[in-house]
Amino acid sequence: MAEPRHCPCPYCDLDDPTRPEPVGGWILRDEHWLVGQGDPDTTMAGGVRITSRRHYVDFADMDIEEATSFGLLVTVLDRALRAATGAERVHVLSTRDRLQHFHARLYPRPATHPLRGTEFLNAPQHSLTEDAERTVHAVRDRLQVSTPAFPEPDAVSGDLPGRR
């Protein structure tokens, strides 16, 4: 078992096996990111948080692997959240003002929701725990069956093939 980290940041030890997992369990865990459903008391079903494993605050603090994988992760999650929730749009938000550890939130907005843009994001959210769990399982299932293949970026320029 890895030695415990001695960091006062509550996000630095999210993957500690002694801490409870998010509702429905982790949607995705990899070398750079932890993805889980937000608290149903304050987040809609399908509202997820992407948290960096390494402690840093800003986009500019990402290394190249984190930056590349973040873009791909958001793309894959957008597709899975739309498929699992029927959302018309998935909003991405990352302020890092209250808790200074890199994280971003994704909020799926149904086409039938009367609010748009920041009005939608500012509106109170909640969900039933069972709805959040069901959505987590549907998103995880979508990730397992439909993870798209992405071409590798050019090692020198970072450009994707055919996009110069």
Which pLDDT tens digits describe the chain residue by residue (164 residues)?
A: 445 556 778 888 888 888 899 999 999 999 999 999 999 999 999 999 999 999 999 999 999 999 999 999 999 999 999 999 999 999 999 987 778 899 999 999 999 999 999 999 999 999 999 999 999 999 999 998 655 555 555 555 555 444 44
Bridge partners (DSSP) listed for residue 112: none
pTM of this prediction exceeds 0.75: yes
Could you give all domains of the chain from N- to C-terminal order, each with its CATH number? 28-146 (3.30.428.10)
CA distance 66 to 72: 10
- In 3D space, the residue among 89, 84, 69 whose CA is nearest the CA of residue 141 turns out to be 84
User: What is the per-residue pLDDT for 162?
Assistant: 46
